[in-house]
Amino acid sequence: MNVMGFDYGSRVIGVALGNRLTGTARPLGTVGNGGSGPAWERIDAWIREWQPEALLVGLPLTLDGEEQKASRGARAFAAALHKRSGLPLHLVDERRSSIEAARRFAQRRAAGLAKKKHAADIDAVAAEVITETWLADPS
């Protein structure tokens, strides 16, 4: 009943785990993404550990819904992820997910659940938002 969501970035990829029964997600963490590509060994380990039934990758579109340079990177990552895992993969419109992730992180800091030094984890919170967006409407 698990799904795993990814917020693709050219330097960091956020990862979250979602539950289809509850419709909720939680951040798992981040992995590096550099000149040699993503930290596949960590991604593969999470997939083995959590055994998701599907993978979700945020598709960064402009506010008008148009593709942009970042969209191509996310699509390439999604294709590689699908090829490696063999799992169903869904692209999720991630417009405004960064704004929502920043809001959630600020709330968690105010509640004492996160510290400023954890700000790098905001990419995982963005993956949480992407995952919950899909769980709310998996069509």
Domain with 31, as residue range(s), is 2-136
Q: What is the pLDDT of residues 114-137, one digit of tens each?
A: 555 555 577 888 999 999 999 998
Look up the CATH number of the domain holding residue 132. 3.30.420.140
Number of structural domains found in the chain: 1
**pLDDT, position 106:** 73
- Convert 38-65 to b/e letters by CB count within 10 Å (16 or more is b): bbeebbeebbeeeebebbbbbbbbeeee
Out of 15-19, 27-31, 119-123, 125-129, pick the least confident.
Answer: 119-123
Q: Which candidate, 11, 74, 4, 76, places its Cα nearest to that of 44? A: 4
Residue with tokens 């405004």: 96
Q: Note the pTM of the prediction, 2 decimals.
A: 0.86
